[in-house]
Amino acid sequence: MIKNRLLLDALNGDNVSRPPVWMMRQAGRYLPDFMKLKEKYDFFTRCKTPELAAKITLMPIEQIGTDAAILFSDILVVPQAMGVDVEMRKELGPFIPKPIREAKQIEKIVIPDVDDNLNYVFEAIRLSKQMIDNRVPLIGFAGSPWTVLCYMVQGQGSKNFDIAKSFCFSQPEAAHMLLEKITTTTIKYLKSKVKAGVNVIQLFDSWGGLLSEDDYQKFSWHYNQKIIDSLKSKTKIISFSKGCWFALPLMAKSGVDALGIDWTCSARNARYLTGGKVTLQGNLDPSRLMSTPKEIEKLTKKMIAEFGVQKYIVNLGHGILPNVPVDNAKAFVNTVKNYSV
């Protein structure tokens, strides 16, 4: 039985004494201990060595005291399992040496045996669960098929993913074939993650906000909904689509347990657009953790007052920046833990 049930209660819509708090992602990238491991082991070595991944996963709960752990991993292990090389380059970030640009490349992609190809993830989950020892829930995650396609086609990070979008708009049939294959793989992957022991799944759609409302529905949400439909009887699901305020009314009816909100959508707008019924998660601007601890406390209290204590998970509006001072991250988390109505 998990002792700290705040996150699970908030996801169930049950009453809580204060909202749970955790910070996207990745686990601990701003912590000195993480940086030491980063100097010794490259990114995918850390992902693929269960002992290292588990060690990193536990850092934020042990050093900052968050109410949940999130597995240290990456959304791009999915295309790797599908046979597409993904490297992590210093300065540049993810890099795909042979990006997808033609239908015939997609035809060749086979749906992998995830239990074989991604076994290191499930090992990392089992080990993390042992080490967490029921103190807090463990969150697993996957990228949305749209976001994974963005990287597979663009070949690297981008301001506007112009190559990926041009591909989808000039070769829509090929794009949908790829999205189908990513979706099928992701569903299998997430089912195995749940079997291995994660308590909650978060779907990250980092680049959904690059699409219009119509195109988001076609190229992104359609596939997220398939994943949600396949997983919702098995686990709790949080869906976070950055920049997708326009789709919140649609997402609120999808069957997810919570919706992530970025900082450009105020609590008032988010509650209004979701009809006030769904648990919401977010949304402090990650750059705001560069303010003073006093200012962070003020902003965090204001945020809780605006979202409300119930049906709310305190978080950032996107991933924590690597250069955030540890004391500032603690100021954020401690403000929530000391919050009294």
Residues that bind a copy of itself (CB under 8 A): 157-160, 162, 165-166, 169-170, 209-213, 215, 243, 245-246, 263-266, 269, 285, 287-288, 290-292, 295, 317, 321, 323
Q: How far apart are CA 7 and CA 19, in angstroms?
A: 8
Which one, of 235, 177, 242, 233, lies nearest residue 209 by Cα?
Answer: 242
**CB of residue 243 vs a copy of itself: minimum separation in angstroms?**
7
Nearer to a copy of itself, 160 or 338 (CB): 160
> CB burial class (10 A; 0-12, 13-18, 19+) of residue 88?
middle
Main-chain phi, psi angles of 18, to 5 degrees: -150, 160
What proportions of the chain, in percent to the nearest 5, are helix, strand and coil?
50, 10, 35
Decide whether 76 or 211 has the Cβ nearer to a copy of itself.
211
CB of 241 to a copy of itself, least distance (A): 11
Least Å from the CB of residue 220 to a copy of itself: 12
Residue 129 C-beta: closest distance to a copy of itself, Å: 33
Partner residues linked to 283 by β-bridges: 315
Between 134 and 292, whose beta carbon lies closer to a copy of itself?
292
Q: Which is nearer to a copy of itself, 15 or 160 (CB)?
A: 160
How far apart (Å, rounded) are the C-alpha atoms in residues 179 and 227? 12
Residue type, position 200, single letter: V
Closer to a copy of itself by CB, 25 or 55: give it: 25
The least CB distance from residue 289 to a copy of itself, in Å, is 8
Looking up tokens 């919050």 gives: 339
